[in-house]
Amino acid sequence: MNKLAEELNTRLAGSTAEKLLSELGKRLYFPKGIISQSAEAKQLGKRFNATIGMATSGGVPLMLSGVKKQLPGLTPGEAVAYAPTGGDPALRKRWKAEILRKNPSLGSAPIGQPVVVPGLTAGIWLSLDLFLDPADAVIAADPCWDNYSLIVEDRKGAKLLTYPYFDASGGFNIDGLEKALKSSPKGKAIVILNFPNNPTGYSPNREEASKIIQALVSVAKSGKPVLALVDDAYFGLFYEPGTNTESLFASLASAHENILALKIDGSTKEDFVWGFRTGFVTPGGKGMTADAYEALDGKFLGAIRSSVSCCSTPAQSIMLKAMDDPDYEADKANLKAQLAERYRKAKAFVDRVPPPSRLKLLPFNSGYFMSFECVGISAEALRLKLLKEKGIGTISLQDRFLRVAYSSVDAAGIEELYGEIYAAAGEL
């Protein structure tokens, strides 16, 4: 094992992060190679800096005029230079401040510095690089985002354990989560918590959120270390009173010494910049020291450096400038209001017009989506019928669920959309 990896492991010794590390996670480190030596030269190499593989003139990156025309608000350094492996330090600091502002119950709980990753998908698989071995399992609700299975089972060679998302009363299935936690392999428990949920569009209420925390704490008290991947892709899009509007990370970050929470979020949906691929991973765990967080940061930097190397500089630069824009909050509120209107129209339709017997409506109250469970018919057959005969695109999952993204349909077309879905289901 590399000496730098051993040093990081020593700094993590005794922490929950150290107990959870995968074999790959134990081996990862940030090398004192090109990147770190270039960073030193940037500070001290005032005569000549012959380190980084960029072309510069007078210390400024060279830039095609055609590229410069498309990015008039950015300097060459903000537009085409390499970003630091962990992301722009100013953006990392700003994103952490936003997490604290949006989740006041975090209070003074110490959390780590966010690392920038190329979207939430990368945030999940990089996190699992550090903590998931093939003999381990990851727990997720069913239905869940299909990419979880691709990452956990096909990419990482581990097991995805699922439990039904809803209980008999239509609320979040706390009992199912508890049973799944108890059935997870010995040694560690890894769980993904995704609210607002993709594909159901359901977020727990405050009581359900409290019970989720209690379930994880119960496992932690038994002596088993718990890794909670908090997938906050759609954070902030809550439409109903009583819904838990803070990230579960806020509670888990200081819940128990045997719990390590990773808040995986990003500007992707929160700031309506899907193609920027700018995500963040922020660690939080009771008892984690500043030195342990710094060591864990080194592990993440090693995972990033050995895979994607670094993230898009212009995307980070634009986001940082946008967050400083005086209209930032008002603009976001306006766009969120448009999504809320689409949600209300979809909710009003399904409440007013009961779905046909072939479609079971799943509860929804947040995010981008809602879903139907198909009863006695194929979800894929329904999807194809809607697509080929009606010119309507939807998503079928597991041939059981039909996901409808009302987020991408203008409010004026919502009722017509659902009317066509009902009609097509009735014809099958």
Domains present along the chain, CATH in parentheses:
3-30+85-323 (3.40.640.10), 328-427 (3.90.1150.10)
Strands 359-361, 395-397: pairing is unpaired
Q: What pLDDT is attached to residue 259?
A: 98
Output the average pLDDT for the chain: 95
Residue 33 confidence (pLDDT) above 60: no
Confidence label for 39 from pLDDT (cuts 50, 70 and 90): low
Confidence label for 112 from pLDDT (cuts 50, 70 and 90): very high
Is residue 117 within 8 A of residue 95, CB to CB? The reply is no
Nearest to 276 by CA among 316, 231, 333: 316
pLDDT tens readout for residues 201-251: 999 999 999 999 999 999 999 999 999 999 999 999 999 999 999 999 999
> What is the mean predicted confidence (pLDDT) over 245-267?
97
pLDDT tens readout for residues 358-389: 999 999 999 999 999 999 999 999 999 999 99
The residues, any chain, with a CB within 8 Å of residue 400's CB and separated by 6 or more, are: 143, 373, 374, 379
Nearest to 28 by CA among 301, 275, 214, 294: 301
Residue 46 confidence (pLDDT) above 90: no
Residue where the block lists tokens 């128990």: 256
Distance CA 375, CA 112 (A): 46
Residue 44 confidence (pLDDT) above 60: no
Confidence label for 34 from pLDDT (cuts 50, 70 and 90): low
H or E segment to which residue 142 belongs: strand 137-142
Distance CA 283, CA 264 (A): 9
Q: What pLDDT is attached to residue 48?
A: 64
Confidence label for 32 from pLDDT (cuts 50, 70 and 90): confident
The residues, any chain, with a CB within 8 Å of residue 214's CB and separated by 6 or more, are: none
The residues, any chain, with a CB within 8 Å of residue 94's CB and separated by 6 or more, are: 320, 323
pLDDT tens readout for residues 290-342: 999 999 999 999 999 999 999 999 999 999 999 999 999 999 999 999 999 99
